[in-house]
Structure 1
Amino acid sequence: MNLNILNLESVFFSTKKIIGDYMKRKPYWKLLISTFLILGLLNCSQSKENNDEEIASLLAIVNATNLRISGNWTYYNGTPSYLGDEFNTAGTVKSGDLIITNSYFKQTSVEATGSNYEADILEYDNTKEVIYVKFITHPFGGAGKYSAYYWTLFSDNKFYFCGDIAGNKNSLAEIKESTQRNDKTNMNSGCYTNNSFTPGTGFIWFRMETK
């Protein structure tokens, strides 16, 4: 048994010496191994960069296909500094709540009991900042009619929305032809500036605050 162990040890050390001598006679083996290691690192790095690019592309697609203002919101009249008037409360007073998804819109007013708007979202455009809806529930008999909601990201980095006040329509095609014009630089009187009641001066936009 001891002789076998000695023989194995002898073989091991002899083999180790042969390999060591070979490597000493062939100095380029280190360069070869280093080259393989560097190439491997480069490949790993390139794969990570490619993965990052793919993830970024996928996120961009998701963001582009999701309605930008989807979420649960509390809304207020105009900007926080809006003082209010005989018809509207000040910008610090809660006006209502919003639930918005890619396919559903609900506006619940806390200022007027029963003033709730519920609708299916038929289309939306994040570039044009508009959603087109068909009302399910409407406080003034507009259920089944079509309308639009416009939004913008104002300079205070908050979203504001403005309903189409020009009148509900009988089809999606009709509401897309709405003549309503909005001033996206004035959140306190820039909604529907071409109305016939106060030409040149519109109504308030609603400020959206996350819950």
Structure 2
Amino acid sequence: MRKTLFTASVLALALAAPLAQAHQAGDVILRAGAITVDPREDSSDIYVGALNTSVPGTKATLDSNTQLGLNFAYMVTDKVGIELLAATPFSHDVGVAGMPGPFASLNGKLGELKHLPPTLSVVYYPLDTRSAFQPYVGAGINYTWFFDDKLTSEAEGKGFSGLDMKDSWGFAAQVGMDYMLTDNIMVNAQVRYIDIDTTGTTNYGGAKVKVDVDVDPMVYMVGLGYKF
């Protein structure tokens, strides 16, 4: 009889545990982890002022980068929250590809840039608030600030000078999930799409070189969270 009562008590506690782990209105959630920005860039043909034309088949390239990601969320209701995405500065190599014939030597790494992509979103948790597993969807607005744009010494040696990337405003969407390990600690994973459109300019041979780039990265983050 005692064994039966003990077993029943353990099962009752196990079933009741998720009830204490749900997100609730007024909760503040801090998440931190590894975040990767993976550009899916699509650029216009590169305009070369020295030729007074855009060169067909040319494009700008950007590589991926991983940094420390931070999320700050406030639950307005049990199911709706406001979330801010932040991170340490991302660093990307900027390249040129597709330059033909006598300009083929210009292909390759052109320079480097850094950016910060603060993103403010509204998130919605569709499942019962008693569940320890909490998937969510979100949408919001992103501002991407490009800074510390600079050419490589090799690019400068080829006749380039100066590098500038235009800041961007755009739409952002995400899906993610929290799984509560305790009343306060959670595992988090999330995937985002961010609309980032920029224009890059430099100079070659004393004339402007310009390219429009739809960066449009997929952003992946995994980490831990703490609920206050």
| Structure richer in strand, relative to its length | 2
Higher relative contact order, chain-length normalized (CA < 8 Å, sep 6+) = 2
TM-score under structure 2 normalisation? 0.37
Higher helix share: 1
Report which of the two structures shows the higher radius of gyration computed on alpha carbons.
Answer: 1
